Chains A and B, each alone.
Chain A
Amino acid sequence: MRRRLLIPLAASLALASSLAACSSEEGAGAEAGEKELTVLAAASLTETFTALGEEFEKTHDGVDVTFAFDSSATLAAQAVEGAPADVLATADLRTMDDAVAGGAIDGDPQTFATNVMTLVVPADNPAGISSFADLDKPGVDYVLCVETAPCGVVGAALIADGGITADPASLEVDVKAVLAKVASGEADAGLVYVTDATAAGADVVSIEIPGAETQLLEYPIGVLEQTGDDDLAAEFIELVLSDEGRRVLADAGFGAP
């Protein structure tokens, strides 16, 4: 008898809660139609900006934040071509300069984070590498980014500055490919950003590169000329620059500007 009662009760509860979920979603959807914020951000910001976007939605009722994560050069070009978006955040000053020169940025962009390169080795460190100079040891296979990518330019400069004479075993197309080669143990070492090393967790071990900070990457953020809501875009940038934003970025390995 009890069981008979329980089932319809549970069913109606489930129905009620799903209805409630529906209506609340609908409400958010209707309001989101009024306010939407689109952010173009460098691929290396995927985790941090997604977290900050959720934070922003929490504090701004009815605002829907959407992201497009891609390479900085691609995003800057899209911004110049008038892509419908409100904020642009890139992984280096050069690409932001391109966007500014193309008239896509309203006002001056601000630097909100920095990133440096680090040496990573597989967790079991098969080549026994303990310092940057060990890249020159015979039989060490290390990998870099190809020099047409920003990480390749910085990587090659650090190799030259460090007096490393051994050639890399391979030039990978982007920093994630370098990380994958090292994490899977297919390379003895590789040069990636500190944030990539942080994201890889226990798969890799980081070794500091002497003088890495001389090749600092600065991350600028700016409001796009074509934004429909200056204030909302500025508020998002405020969040990124706030203590809260600072904390999220620092957790991911980004340095302070």
Chain B
Amino acid sequence: MLVLPAVLAVAFLVVPLVALVAGTPWEDFWDRLRTEAVRDALALSAITSLATVGLCVLIGTPLSWVLARVVFPGRALVRALVVVPLVLPPVVAGVALVAALGRTGLIGSWLDESFGYRIPYTTAAVIIAHTFVALPFYVLAVEGVLRSNGARWDDVAATLGAGRWTTFRRVTLPLALPGLIAGCALAWARSLGEFGATITFAGNYPGTTQTLPSLIYSELQGDVEVARTISMVLLLASVLVLAGLRDRWLRVP
């Protein structure tokens, strides 16, 4: 009774991916990857996704620690607000970023008038858009590990005379490392695939703002073969992330 829908569900998820692999023009795979547009987009995606992960670690780790360890009024609210971009449609994230940081936006117009600095159409805008959508993934992963580790080891370190910063650096962080790595992998995958917020907020220009997904979208109207080749690259990257997280997601209890 339940087997047929289950088989259907598996087929539903697997068939499009198999079709993508089958539809990839393998014979010219490397040639297509070597064209200038694809190389530019590959390089830009690599740079922006790594910068996004770096930024997530830099600001996401302290936030995760605060959410997991510090009791303060409104913590539940802050936590909920932080997670909103996780469920927000990416294009809405883009519209929100334009409203805040766009040239006519809340902060963007002030930046433009005061410093003559404009964020849209720059690689920085791509990284900002990616971090906006990737940060919640990172924070949830790290916070989860910090919570499940508990504060016991921190307390032990403190009673042995370690200061708050030493405790964080020498005890809390090493114990949370698996969560940090998982968070990085999730943030990286999210950044690599980000499209809606990027094209809405940062724009689409080869070399500065055209990431792999934006190039796929542009090439769907032009050279479909190129679009399929890049899609294959992103599928491989996703499989790579999954392989890296296999202990977390693929282990059957």
Contacts and interface: CB of A to CB of B under 8 A. Distances in A.
Interface of A: 73, 141, 143, 146-149, 167-173, 184-186
Contact of B203 (A73, A170, A184, A185): A170
Contacts of A143: 203
B104 interface: yes
5 contacts: A141-B103, A143-B203, A173-B204, A184-B104, A186-B102
Interface in B88-134: 98, 102-104, 118, 120-121
Given A170-B209, A173-B199, A184-B98, 11 more contacts: A141-B120, A146-B221, A148-B223, A169-B120, A169-B205, A170-B121, A170-B205, A171-B204, A172-B203, A173-B217, A184-B102
B222 interface: yes
Contacts, number: 51
B118 A141 contact: yes
A185 B108 CA distance: 12
Contacts of B203: 143, 169-172
Contact of B219 (A148, A170, A186): A148
Interface of A is mostly: loop
B218 A173 contact: yes
Nearest to B217: A173
B222 A170 contact: no
A42 to B, nearest CB: 15
Contacts of B223: 148
A168 B205 contact: yes
B218 A185 contact: no
Interface in B173-212: 199, 202-206, 209-210
A228 to B, nearest CB: 32
A172 B209 CA distance: 12
A240 B53 CA distance: 57
Contacts of A171: 203-206, 210, 218
B219 A172 contact: no
Contacts of A170: 121, 202-205, 209
A8 to B, nearest CB: 52
A168 B218 CA distance: 16
In the A-B complex, the 4 residue pairs with the smallest Cβ-Cβ separation, listed nearest first, are: A170-B203, A148-B222, A169-B121, A148-B221
A171 B40 CA distance: 15
A152 to B, nearest CB: 9
A141 B205 CA distance: 12
Contacts of B222: 147-148
B103 A148 contact: no
B120 to A, nearest CB: 6
A148 B214 CA distance: 13
Nearest to B218: A146
Given A170-B121, A186-B120, A149 B104 contact: no
Contacts of B221: 73, 146, 148-149, 173
A143 B209 CA distance: 13
A34 B217 CA distance: 42
Contacts of A168: 205
Residue of A141, A148, A184, A186 ringed by the most chain B CB atoms within 10 A: A186
